[in-house]
Amino acid sequence: MIIGRYKLHPIAESNDKRMNTDNENKILHFMDSHPRHTRIIVTDAIRSLIEKSVEMIMFWRKENPNANEADCISQCNLQMATCTAESILSLAKGIHWGYHNTFLIDIHSCASLVRSLYERAFIFRNIYVSTDNVLERDLLLYIWEIRGLNNRVTLKYVTESFRHIQHYDKNSVEELRRNLSDIVGRLDTTKSAREQISYAIKKNTSQLKGFKFVKDHERIIQFKSISLEESPQYFFKDDNMRNCYTYLSLTSHPSYLGILQFGQRYKERDDEKELVHIYLSLTYHLLSELALDFCNATTNAKKYYEMLYPFTERYIIEKTSC
pLDDT, averaged in runs of 10, over the chain (322 residues): 34 39 62 71 94 97 96 97 96 79 79 94 95 97 96 85 89 96 96 96 92 95 93 75 82 79 68 75 94 96 95 86 66
**Does residue 194 sit within a domain?**
yes
At residue 6, the pLDDT reads 33
At residue 158, the pLDDT reads 80
**Does residue 10 sit within a domain?**
no
* Rounded CA separation 124/127 (Å): 5
DSSP assignment of 235-298: H-SSGGGTTHHHHHHHHHSSSHHHHHHHHHHHHHT-HHHHIIIIIIHHHHHHHHHHHHHHHHHS
Buried b (16+ CB within 10 A) or exposed e, 167-200: eebeeebeebeeebeebbeebebeeebeebbeeb
At residue 256, the pLDDT reads 81
User: What is the count of structural domains for the chain?
Assistant: 1
At residue 127, the pLDDT reads 97
**Upper half-sphere CA count for residue 221 (Cβ side, 13 Å):** 5
**Does residue 11 sit within a domain?**
no
**Does residue 209 sit within a domain?**
yes
**Does residue 7 sit within a domain?**
no
**Does residue 252 sit within a domain?**
yes
Q: How far, in Å, are 3, 57, 91, 284, 297 from residue 81 at the CA level? A: 19, 12, 15, 11, 16
DSSP assignment of 3-44: -TTTT----S--S-HHHHHHHHHHHHHHHHH-HHHHHHHHHH
SS3 84: helix
DSSP assignment of 145-169: HHHHHHHHHT-SS--GGGHHHHHHH
**Does residue 281 sit within a domain?**
yes
At residue 22, the pLDDT reads 65
Q: Note down the domain range covering 123.
A: 17-320
DSSP state at residue 125: I
At residue 197, the pLDDT reads 97
At residue 157, the pLDDT reads 83
At residue 35, the pLDDT reads 66
**Does residue 275 sit within a domain?**
yes
Is 85:225 a contact under the CB 8 Å cutoff? no
DSSP state at residue 187: S
What does the chain come to in residues?
Answer: 322
At residue 286, the pLDDT reads 94
